[in-house]
Amino acid sequence: MKNLISTIKELKEIGITFDEYNLKECIHRYQTRQRSRELLDISKKINLDLSSDIVKVSIAAVVINYDDIVESGSLEMELIKTMSLRDSIFVKTIKKSNEFNELLYLVGDAVDRRTHKK
């Protein structure tokens, strides 16, 4: 990620301009995808059932809080702890997040129509 940011700074220094909002959105989407992949790998390593909604909700919740968790503890432990949170309002809220939707694309549970052209 640091390489990406330094490359952007270098491009700005030579006069290339970017739509700042679009750039921030693209970087956020990239980070979300990378973090989701990392947590999917951890989930596979500890043999979690990726077809389970609670596993996907837990992964998305950890992705949303990734920075705080990385600073204070283990992603694997936090993922396991988050799986015990089964309150319906928590699950419904996470399922409405962009991070959960991105995760569905990564695991193949959603049809990607975002780039479909007629």
- pLDDT reported for residue 2: 64
Containing H/E element for 18? none
Number of other CB atoms surrounding residue 94 within 10 Å: 22
Lowest pLDDT segment from 14-28, 42-56, 60-74, 85-99: 14-28
CA angle 46, 29, 6 (to 5 degrees): 105
Q: CB-based burial of residue 78 (10 Å sphere; 0-12 exposed, 13-18 middle, 19+ buried)?
A: buried
- What is the residue type of 71? E
pLDDT single digits (tens) 3-12:
777 777 887 8
pLDDT single digits (tens) 22-38:
888 888 888 899 999 99
pTM: 0.79
- What is the residue type of 7? T
